[in-house]
Amino acid sequence: MPALVNSGLPNDRFVFEGFLPLKKGRQARLKLLSQEQRTIVLYVSPHKLNKTLEDIALYFGAARLISISREISKVFEETRRGTVQSILEHFTNHPAKGEIVLVISGASET
């Protein structure tokens, strides 16, 4: 919940997905989630963060708003907000460490 609140994204309706599948079903899951209108909360391991962000840019679009919170309730707690592209650029240059929660804005109603 702290990552959702810190994200600045709508928190009245959200879905918690935990970790994404590693291989089997990953693409199908991302495709399905890209249409989700509720805010999405995921866990991501640090060594899979950049690949996950690349996948999200592909399926959700690089302009989708997201938030990354890491080390929640610890000394080095950090939350970054922005587009998928801007967050990916940051973590490409500054590799993530610690426990990571990714919050993704829901899809726009069409």
User: What would the pLDDT profile of 77-90 be if each residue is shown by its tens digit?
Assistant: 899 999 999 999 99
Q: Which residues contact 58 (CB under 8 A, 6 or more apart)?
A: 30
Is 36 among the domain residues?
A: yes
Is 52 among the domain residues?
A: yes
Is 82 among the domain residues?
A: yes
> How many domains does one find in the chain?
1
Mean pLDDT of 87-105: 95
Helix 49-60 vs helix 26-33: angle between axes, to the nearest 10 degrees?
A: 50
Give DSSP secondary structure letters for 1-56: -HHHHHH-S--SSEEEEEEPPSSTTHHHHHHHHTT--SEEEEEE-GGGHHHHHHHH
Is 9 among the domain residues?
A: yes
User: What would the pLDDT profile of 11-58 be if each residue is shown by its tens digit?
Assistant: 999 999 999 998 889 999 999 999 999 999 999 999 999 999 999 999
CATH number at residue 46: 3.30.950.10
What is the pLDDT confidence band of residue 76, given thresholds at 50, 70 and 90? Answer: confident
pTM, whole model, 2 decimals? 0.93
Mean pLDDT of 56-71: 96
Is 90 among the domain residues?
A: yes
What range defines the domain where residue 89 resides? Answer: 2-104
Is 109 among the domain residues?
A: no
**Distance (Å, rounded) from C-alpha 61 to C-alpha 51?**
14
**Distance (Å, rounded) from C-alpha 49 to C-alpha 1?**
20
